[in-house]
Amino acid sequence: MDTELSAPNIQLKSGSNLEKLLRAGEFVVCGEMSPPQSVDSGSIAKKCSYFKGYVDAVNLTDNQTAIVRMSSVVSSYLALSGDVEPIMQLTCRDRNRLAMQSDILGAYALGIRNILCLTGDHQKFGNHPDAKGVFDLDAIQVVQMVKKMRDEKQFLCGEEMKQEPRMFIGAAANPCGEPFEMRILNLIKKAAAGADFIQTQPVFDVPGFERWMKVARDEGLDKEVFILAGVMPVRSVKALLYMKESVPGMRIAPEYVKRLEPITEKEAAMEEGVRIAVEIMQQLRQIQGIAGIHIMPVMWESITPRLVEEAGLLPRPEVGQ
């Protein structure tokens, strides 16, 4: 296990820009976009223009909230052609171990170098609640599998392959979820399974996140994996309350609700939402052990440049070849 993650001349595992920046000790910024619910490849190209030059890599979600969208492998490839480095999300809900491995091989062949392994939302919450969920593996086992493919050149079954997919492996964490000790244990297990970076759920309670981060630091986890804290800009108090009601483990500081509640005008609420997101980004940046920010502008990708600029994270660093 790496004791110093960003030591100079460290052997790169994947060679992705995201990895190079993190290893160089840069504070990275990631974005997130959802692929279209149609064959409209132009929407990805358009969204890429919001991210290009403003973030270092962008997550391409995999049928997020169990709603059918364009495949994350293909969307990641399209993002790559839009000059944006993709982080391909891969969930366990829709694929068994064979499909996952073949998608990973295909993704690597297309030039995708970052992967985020997730268990995935239950199909009950999506637009095909009558579907059969696969859940052959869980996220921790997928991390282990991708690591085995990369470092041991072996499929999950142990068979050797000629050329291995050299992926930079990510996983998710839920800092404010219940039970707290299990959340830390989950992070420990993901690090032990071989995750290189962790992206957290959006933070709306910075002191709560700090508590989690302190325990993570005490366990030495910030030295084992790069931890990127999630930030989500909200457009209205309704969106904020929806998150609180329907997303488990989403702790929201009452301060933000109080600030957004009295604003009735749509534009003004959006402005306040941006101010809150920028504040959270600046506060997160001060927390020891945080390697970067992961912005999740759900259906509001166009706000990313403003957030990054106002948080003082421009210009984005260049990577050496």
Partner 1 sequence: MSKASEAIAKFIQGRPRFHACATVAENMVKRPVFKCQDCGQCILSYTAFTCCMRCPKQMRNGPCGGTQEDGHCEVYPERHCIWWLIHKRAKWMGRTKKLARLQQPHDWRWEHTSAWLHVFAGELEPPSWGRE
Footprint of partner 1 on this chain (CB under 8 A)?
A: 92-93, 97, 119, 121-122, 124, 133, 135-138, 140-141, 144-145, 156, 172, 174, 177-179, 181-182, 185-186, 188-189, 192-193, 201, 248-249
Of 66 and 311, nearer to partner 1 (C-beta) is 66
Of 53 and 177, nearer to partner 1 (C-beta) is 177
Of 68 and 134, nearer to partner 1 (C-beta) is 134
Of 59 and 174, nearer to partner 1 (C-beta) is 174
State in angstroms the smallest separation of the CB of 292 from partner 1. 20
Are residues 251 and 204 in contact, defined by beta-carbon separation less than 8 angstroms? yes
Of 17 and 144, nearer to partner 1 (C-beta) is 144
Of 138 and 279, nearer to partner 1 (C-beta) is 138
Count how many Cα atoms sit within 13 Å of the Cα of residue 140 in the half-sphere of its side chain: 11
d(CA 85, CA 17): 7
State in angstroms the smallest separation of the CB of 293 from partner 1. 19
Phi and psi at 269, nearest 5°, equal -65, -40
d(CA 161, CA 150): 10
Of 12 and 182, nearer to partner 1 (C-beta) is 182
Are residues 202 and 296 in contact, defined by beta-carbon separation less than 8 angstroms? yes
The single residue listed with the structure tokens 């945080």 is 290
Report the alpha-carbon angle 243-275-241, nearest 5: 15
CB within 8 Å of 220: residues ≥ 6 apart: none
State in angstroms the smallest separation of the CB of 104 from partner 1. 15
Tell the burial category of 134 from Cβ atoms under 10 Å away from its Cβ (0-12, 13-18, 19+). Answer: middle
State in angstroms the smallest separation of the CB of 205 from partner 1. 12
State in angstroms the smallest separation of the CB of 64 from partner 1. 13
d(CA 282, CA 142): 33
Cα dist from 42 to 82, 140, 202, whole Å: 10, 34, 28
State in angstroms the smallest separation of the CB of 199 from partner 1. 12
State in angstroms the smallest separation of the CB of 237 from partner 1. 20
Of 248 and 315, nearer to partner 1 (C-beta) is 248
With CA atoms as reference, report the closest residue to 232 among 299, 181, 289, 155: 299
Secondary structure of 62-80 in HEC code, one letter for each residue: CCHHHCCCCCHHHHHHHHH
State in angstroms the smallest separation of the CB of 98 from partner 1. 12
Question: Would you say the C-alpha torsion 77, 78, 81, 83 has a positive or negative sign?
Answer: negative
